[in-house]
């Protein structure tokens, strides 16, 4: 392999660009794809609970399901073919450096700190799902299958989210799994990702069915319910970012967005006039005053009128203290500044209500810098910039071709990505498998989407060749 023009090139790249798709045994590949969609769906739906599922299911032991699926996928992958194709969509050098440095650092720290080093390195290890997603979407039919699966998953997540008022009852009825910290965790009832998936479902309606009044009303209901009941500050920032994204890439949606804002304002006014009470996750009744004070809590401004708002505001100062302490530790040692504090060591000295130490500072961007130093952070930023650039170029290509469906599919993926990017500002988003696995798996699909579009295998004029779902090479090694 050689480096040229900032890209890592593998032997045969030029030939790969002109190679026709290779049809492989459809049955095996369909089973593989079914398992992948099932696992990703379970992570998104049951998040923290499913994250604790291990094989074998022994207390404090076993391998997480995500890691098992990842290893099996990588073992059946023809890296020359996969990376050759991937290299036509994004620069491989930052990816290669990120994975080589991160995995090597995790193994080194494992020898020093034990299994917690591998747990803390979940972000870098599970970012390899980008390759898995790229291979998954190797055939146009698989892309169609994915986009038929996605709205069904969103519907299930929305229905699941309506169970929030009886969440504690679900915990009592749910089987439990012993977590890595030794605490029994309910398998069902954890809804940490549900509000963001409900928001994604709302924007699915606005993107794919913007001209339908029923879809716009449905989006209002989903957004209103999520904001009123979940009462999560991050949701305000997510909505602001998503509205800005929609105005930037789909200005024709201004009417739908205006409708959502207008009807939401009317809803708030009716709540005030009729004295309706909606008690949310924080135990506070949702109204306009709560909305304002809760939003201000993002900036550390509390309110004695709402206990939940006050505690939320106090958490801002706590996070700032964590972040300051981390940077002081890094600046005190050039080695730590360049290579990071490593894995296996907690980044805070704070213990939560369960007694377990909080290992991450509730900001994934600071975690990347803290764990991998300047070297790792620069590589990761270059990866993210490259992914965003490729998304933009693929979206622009769809627009040039007049392929509205392709635009819509890319936009709904970006809705999810933006939600995760914003979540990572105030939470340990990329340190949790139920976030990072779908995040990179979806990015792999987006990259393959662009690859197939450039080759004319998908698009407004592409015709299905009638072949079964196929990958990039005959079994057993996926390309």
Alpha carbon 74 to chain centroid, angstroms: 20
| Mean pLDDT, all residues of the chain | 86
Query: Is pLDDT above 70 for 135?
Result: yes
**How does pLDDT run across 248-304, given as a tens digit for each residue?**
999 988 888 999 988 888 887 777 666 666 666 766 677 777 777 778 877 777 666
Q: Which of 423, 425, 427 is nearest to 196 (CA)?
A: 423
SS (H, E, C) 292-307: HHHHHHHHCCCCCCCH
**Where does the pLDDT of residue 313 fall: very low under 50, low under 70, confident under 90, or very high at 90 and above?**
low
- Please report the DSSP string for 50-77 in residue order: HHT-EES--TT-SEEHHHHHHHHHHHTB
Q: Is the peptide bond before 476 cis (omega within 30 degrees of 0)?
A: yes
**How does pLDDT run across 435-447, given as a tens digit for each residue?**
999 999 999 999 9
Q: SS3 of 355, please?
A: coil
Q: What is the pLDDT of residue 318?
A: 84
Q: What is the pLDDT of residue 417?
A: 98
Q: What is the pLDDT of residue 450?
A: 97
Q: What is the pTM of this model?
A: 0.89
**Where does the pLDDT of residue 310 fall: very low under 50, low under 70, confident under 90, or very high at 90 and above?**
low
Taking each helix axis as running N to C, give the angle between helix 364-401 and helix 404-426, from 0 to 180 degrees, rounded to the nearest 10.
170
**How does pLDDT run across 314-358, given as a tens digit for each residue?**
677 888 899 999 999 999 999 999 999 999 999 988 877 666 788
Query: Is pLDDT above 60 for 13?
Result: no
**How does pLDDT run across 211-244, given as a tens digit for each residue?**
999 999 999 999 998 988 888 889 999 999 999 9
Q: What is the pLDDT of residue 302?
A: 66
Contact status, residue 377 vs residue 97, Cβ threshold 8 Å: no
Query: Is pLDDT above 50 for 3?
Result: no
Burial class of 17 by CB neighbour count within 10 A (0 to 12, 13 to 18, 19+): middle
**How does pLDDT run across 458-479, given as a tens digit for each residue?**
999 764 444 333 344 333 344 4
């Amino acid at each position: 392999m050689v480096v040229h023009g900032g890209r890592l090139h593998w032997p045969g790249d030029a030939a790969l660009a002109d190679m026709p798709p290779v049809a492989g045994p459809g049955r095996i590949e369909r089973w593989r794809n079914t398992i992948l969609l099932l696992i990703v769906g379970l992570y998104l739906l049951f998040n923290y609970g499913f994250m604790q599922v291990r094989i074998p299911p022994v207390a404090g032991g076993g391998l997480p399901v995500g890691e098992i699926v990842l290893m099996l996928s990588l073992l059946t992958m023809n890296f020359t073919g996969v990376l050759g194709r991937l290299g036509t969509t994004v620069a491989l050098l930052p990816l290669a450096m990120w994975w080589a440095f991160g995995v090597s650092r995790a193994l080194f720290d494992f020898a020093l700190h034990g299994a917690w080093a591998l747990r803390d390195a979940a972000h870098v290890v599970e970012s390899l799902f980008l390759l898995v997603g790229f291979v998954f979407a190797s055939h146009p039919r698989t892309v169609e299958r994915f986009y038929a699966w996605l709205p069904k998953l969103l519907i299930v997540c929305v229905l699941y989210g309506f169970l929030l008022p009886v969440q504690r009852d679900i915990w009592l009825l749910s089987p439990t799994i012993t977590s890595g910290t030794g605490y029994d965790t309910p398998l069902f009832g954890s809804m940490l990702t549900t509000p963001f998936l409900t928001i994604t479902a709302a924007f699915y309606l606005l993107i794919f069915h913007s001209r339908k009044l029923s879809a716009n009303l449905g989006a209002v209901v989903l957004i209103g319910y999520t904001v009123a009941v979940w009462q999560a500050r991050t949701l305000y920032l997510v909505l602001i970012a998503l509205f800005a994204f929609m105005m930037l890439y789909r200005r024709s949606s201004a009417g739908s967005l205006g409708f959502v804002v207008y009807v939401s304002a009317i809803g708030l006014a009716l709540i005030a006039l009729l004295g309706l009470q909606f008690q949310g996750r924080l135990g506070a009744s949702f109204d306009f005053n709560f909305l304002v004070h809760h939003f201000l809590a993002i900036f550390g401004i509390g309110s004695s009128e709402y206990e939940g708002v006050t505690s939320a505001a106090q958490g801002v100062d706590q996070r700032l203290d964590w972040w300051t302490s981390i940077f002081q530790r890094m600046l005190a040692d050039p080695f730590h500044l360049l290579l990071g504090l490593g894995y296996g060591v907690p980044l805070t000295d704070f213990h939560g209500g369960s007694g377990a130490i909080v290992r991450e500072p509730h900001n994934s961007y600071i975690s990347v810098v803290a764990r991998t130093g300047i070297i790792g952070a620069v590589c990761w930023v270059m990866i993210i910039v490259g992914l965003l650039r490729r998304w933009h170029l693929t979206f622009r290509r769809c627009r040039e071709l007049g392929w509205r469906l392709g635009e819509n599919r890319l936009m709904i993926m970006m809705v999810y990505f933006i939600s995760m990017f914003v979540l990572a500002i105030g939470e340990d988003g990329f340190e949790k498998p139920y976030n990072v696995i779908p995040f990179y798996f979806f990015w792999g699909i987006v990259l393959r989407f662009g690859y197939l579009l450039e080759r004319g295998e998908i698009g407004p004029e592409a015709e299905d060749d009638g072949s079964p779902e196929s990958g990039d090479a005959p079994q057993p090694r996926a390309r």
